[in-house]
Amino acid sequence: MEMLSIDLFSGCGGLTQGMHQAGFKTKVAVELVENAAAAFSLNHPETKVIKKNIRVITKDEIGLALNGQRMHLLAGCPPCQGFSSIRRLNRGSVKDDRNDLVLEYLRFVKEHLPYTIMMENVPALLEYDLFQQVVKELKEIGYYIDVEVVNVKNYGVPQSRRRLVMVGSLLGPIKVAKGSNEKVTVRDVIGDLESMITTDDAIHKITAKHTDDVMERIKLTPKNGGSSKDLPESYTLACHKKANVGFNDVYGRLRWDDYSTTITGGCLNPSKGRFLHPEEDRVITPREAALLQSFPKDYKFPSNIPKQALALLIGNALPPKFSYAQSLNIKNHIESYLGNSDIN
């Protein structure tokens, strides 16, 4: 049975990569940001990418792409920056126009009634009234729903990253997939990577350039896990001395034999978090960041866009290995009810 999926807010394709590895075929992806849509198409050329604001996409537009076939899985990660813990910590309550995009996800479910659904987001979404409304309405139209906050490090991803996962099914009770507890470390994925000087990989050659003062700070940071806290107080920036401003890990080094900290949209800037290489005096490269996100080594990213745009593509993605675990769980669920027949 060919299992068809749709990826809403697809970004550069981390969610679809995991779905494909689990055996789904993504017929349609929706992504408004040009760089993200381009990266998605580089890796998934067989998927139709709709580059529009999701609010204006019609039921018929999706139906045409599905060619009358029933959708097995509707998955998506609505933009979550308005709920991020660092924004709420530094700016208080954050009003963001993207916060109601969960309602667009709900609209797609209601219009197409896929057999199963999956949504991933930041844990703070759990307390959001619109998300609670979405869960309530999904149950009212017949979906069995399960919601959990989990850490992707428990699914073989070399990174600590807490995420909210919602899964649902019209077929019967379903649960969020449990982790395998396979520990994959920073060393496991980037320890044997070729030198960024000799590599032919364009995005492994990219790294930040720093002032002499910043380079001195980096060189003084102890190898394998050191941070700005290990430096003399004279190196502490005034803005970092304030309490509760979210800068505890800036200019920190990754630890070889541990998980990476969360790879964010600032992952190529050491002033944004613990993103220094464990022993080399530099920030991690985009390829290293992508590997810490569990992307395959040959996953393609555009190298001709600004470094910050590239960091956002990688940092905002759903780790493919985590998507694979959740998608495989859903695929097995579907097969347990529909068997292997081609039911649409």
CA angle 184, 185, 188 (to 5 degrees): 85
CA distance 313 to 317: 6
Structure tokens at 52: 């529009």
- Strand order across the 162-169 sheet: 48-50, 24-30, 3-8, 73-76, 116-121, 162-169, 144-151
| Cβ atoms < 10 Å from Cβ of 8 | 24
Structure tokens at 77: 């990660």
Question: Are 180 and 240 spatial neighbours (Cβ–Cβ below 8 Å)?
Answer: no
Structure tokens at 244: 């509760």
* Dihedral sign of CA atoms 304, 43, 72, 70 in order: positive
Instruction: Check 12, 80, 239, 267 and give the catalytic one.
Output: 80
- Concerning whether 239 is annotated as a catalytic residue, the answer is no
Q: 68: alpha, beta or left, given left = phi > 0 and alpha = psi -120 to 50?
A: left
Report in angstroms the alpha-carbon separations of 87 from 80, 84, 134, 174, 301: 11, 5, 23, 33, 27
Structure tokens at 238: 């005034």
Question: Are 5 and 17 spatial neighbours (Cβ–Cβ below 8 Å)?
Answer: no
Tell me which residue of 94, 112, 121 sits closest to 27, measured CA to CA: 112
CA distance 344 to 115: 10
* C-alpha distance across the termini of the chain, in Å: 9
Task: Specify the residue for token string 């992952």.
Answer: 267
Task: Specify the residue for token string 């537009």.
Answer: 61
Tell me which residue of 147, 143, 197 sits closest to 172, measured CA to CA: 143
**Active-site annotation, residues:** 80
